Amino acid sequence: MAKVIFEDLGIIDYKEAWDYQEKLFRNTVDLKIKIRKEESSEETKNYLLFCQHPHVYTLGKSGSKENLLLNTEGLADNDASFYEINRGGDITYHGPGQLVGYPIFDLEHFFTDIHKYMRFLEEAVILTLKDYGIEGGRVEGLTGVWLDCEGSNPRKICALGVKSSRWVTMHGIGFNVNSDLTYFSHIIPCGIQDKTVTSMQQELGRKLDMNEVATNLKQKLAAQFGFDYSEI
């Protein structure tokens, strides 16, 4: 069974978390190169980082700046920052009340299929939602986890955006637990104009315990991928 090192970063600046991810990601990729060249007998490690961010918008490498509806002044007025980053996908929002998960996995410990990896992340969120009586699912052709997938009001509750190199992953999921949804009005989320976003709080009409949801999601990820985790 694969081993994963879990770390809760708490509320952390987006750039600081991104730099930390990059360090773990680059160290893992570099070690894999050394192992392939038989220059190291070490084994790569897997990491799972959970955190929340202050208000921030991030734009993936396949996205369009036109999907950010705020100028520099507008960002400042909303106490939000903006970064163009190296994951897939378009624009999304992170902020307090959103559970962010960053798996830095060497998929050769699991399976070498990035699409399966994305579906496993989605499934862990879907199973977490089920524990709270919320039915999540997928919309054909779109990533992430949605509610009312085939109904008249499909709405996204969890966004996904990942990067991988040599089967090592980074970036991950933004799961709207107690998110302030008004911040999504300043973007065209993921570049999708005809669908809305939601949160667990919005759906249930009450605020959720973030630590409880995080524990549930961590356990669902462990079961889905088949790993044991140790906490630091």
What residues act catalytically? 190
**Antiparallel, parallel or unpaired: β 136-137 and 56-59:** unpaired
Residue 225 backbone class (left: φ over 0; alpha: ψ -120 to 50; beta: rest):
alpha
- Give the gyration radius of the chain's Cα atoms: 17
Which residue pairs, CB below 8 angstroms and at least 24 apart, start in 72-80? Answer: 74/186, 78/183, 78/186, 79/54, 79/55, 80/55, 80/56, 80/183, 80/186
Residues 7 and 51: their CA atoms lie apart, in Å, by 9
CB 224 within 8 A of CB 120: yes
Q: What is the SS3 assignment for 95?
A: coil
Residue 2 DSSP label: E
